[in-house]
Structure formats: C-alpha cells, structure tokens
Chain A
Amino acid sequence: MALPVLATIWAIGFLLTIITPSIISKAVGQESGWRGIVLAALFGSIALIQAFIAFPLAGSLLRQGASVSAIAAFVTTLVMVGVITAPLEIKFFGRQFTWWRNFLSFVMAIIIALIMGNILG
C-alpha cells in the first residue's frame, strides 16, 4: 500500500511543478478547433488544480479569446478525469472500473464541450 501511494504523491509533485497555470494558459489559450479541445481535455485530465485557482484561470483564458469548447473541455475533465489519482482509484475499485470511468468521462467531457461551443460559442 505504501509504495504506490508514495509513487503517486511524488508524481503529483512533478506534475504541480511542471504543469503550472501559465503552461496551461499557453496550451489552451492559443490553439483552437479540434486540436485545442483535445489538448485542453488532456491538460484537464492530468492536471490537479483546485477550483479556486482553476475557475479564475479558465475565466481569464475565456476573456483572452480561448474558445468556449476548449475551456469547457478543460474544466469538465479537470473535475471528472483523474489520470494522476488513477493508481488510488485502482486500489479501491480495480483496473477495469477505473479505466472505463475515466475513459467514459473523457469522452463525455468532449461531447459536453462541443455542445457548449455550439450554443455559446
């Protein structure tokens, strides 16, 4: 139990240091179209940012001209998909449950993003 948890926490240390809000701004803010949405969803899936940082960040990106779809994809995967916490989820629910829950959530986040882009974009 201790080793995988330690590995997860160390990986989180790497992630918090390397994937900072400014890197996310660059990635999500400038790309547009399909690439932008998928990239935003991938960043949201691996990032671990608390709501009180994520929402202001997403708001400022939106005002700077990022697409509604990309921001929706980022916010939705941020809360629903947890790649970095997957080892913990596997410990409790097993590999299949974890893979399918995260995969289905990722797909739905993209669909939500596309619908939102259509209505609000």
Chain B
Amino acid sequence: MKRLFLARNILAAMALANVLIYFLEPAKAFSILSNAKTYLIEMLSILPPILVLIGLFQVWVPRDTVELMMGNQSGWKGILTAIFLGTAAMGPLYAAFPLGVSLLEKGATLFNVAVFLCVWASIKIPMILFEIKFLGTDFAGLRLALTLPSIILISFLLNTILRRRGFYEKA
C-alpha cells in the first residue's frame, strides 16, 4: 500500500514535470510522451511471448531437471547451463526477470540465476559481432574476456551477500 502511494506520487510529479516542459518546450513534452508510448508498445510486444514461454516452462520442465542442471549439486554444469541459456536467448534484460524467477522457483541456485541474468544482459553473439564491427576485435575481445570472469565474481558475491542476509528464507 505504501509503495502504491509512492508510485502515485511519482506519477503525479512526472505529470507535473511534463506539463511544465510543455510550457517551456512543447516539442520536448510531446517527444517524452511519444517515446514512452514507443517503449510501452515494445514492452507489450515482448511480454506475451515471454509469458507463454514461462507458462510452457512451468508445465513442461520438471523441477528435477532444473535442480539437476542448475541446482545445488550442479557445479560446473550449472554455470555452463546458465551461460548457455543466457546467450541463447534474445531480448531486453527485463524479459529475463520473470524467467529467472521461475528458474529460482524450480530449484536453480541464486548463483546460477545471477549468472544467467548477467550473461543475458551482456553476452550475445549478434551483439559481439556488432561490437567487433564498430569498436574493433581487440576492444570487443578483451571486453568479452573480462566480462565473463566478472559475471562469475558478481554472482558469487551476490550469492554470498544475499545468503548472509537471509534471501533464501524469504524467497
């Protein structure tokens, strides 16, 4: 309830700001709204297939499989599965959030889900090709080589910190 109230205040503040901008620079005010609309449409076009995918995932992929592949005993296999899932998928990071949650619910470890999210965000074959084209092989290659161990470290720290703070009990 408190959060809903906060969201309402933020919305009111933005509406006010938008009106103020309209008086100063009308074109900008409309551009804000049209950018928001474009983004909303993009989001609405991405979410339904994601929801279908999650529905299928929840029904078809047995809990045992997820636990075996990405659970507590999965070790290297779990990391590799997370990396594979992250690079194979396409789409913005917010599309990965609901998938990550359903992986957690099916018994994947927080560490592996964090790897999955970070890889989804930063390592994609088409994106790497694009980076090579515009920033060069050295830049893209070195950044990729540094990103992968960083992801492992981020996920390890995230897992350690959240475990200490009782994330698992709440989840």
Contacts and interface: CB of A to CB of B under 8 A. Distances in A.
Interface string A1-23: 00110110111111011000000
Given A13-B33, A75-B131, A108-B150, 15 more contacts: A3-B11, A6-B7, A10-B14, A13-B36, A16-B35, A51-B127, A51-B130, A55-B133, A76-B122, A76-B143, A80-B118, A105-B154, A112-B150, A116-B139, A120-B139
Interface in B138-171: 138-139, 142-143, 146-147, 150, 153-154, 157-158, 161-162, 165, 167, 170-171
Contact of B135 (A12, A59, A79, A94): A59
Interface stretch (A25-33, A35-43, A84-92): A84-92
A79 to B, nearest CB: 4
Contacts of B37: 13
Interface residues of B, number: 55
A11 B7 CA distance: 12
Contacts, number: 137
Contacts of B131: 51, 55, 75
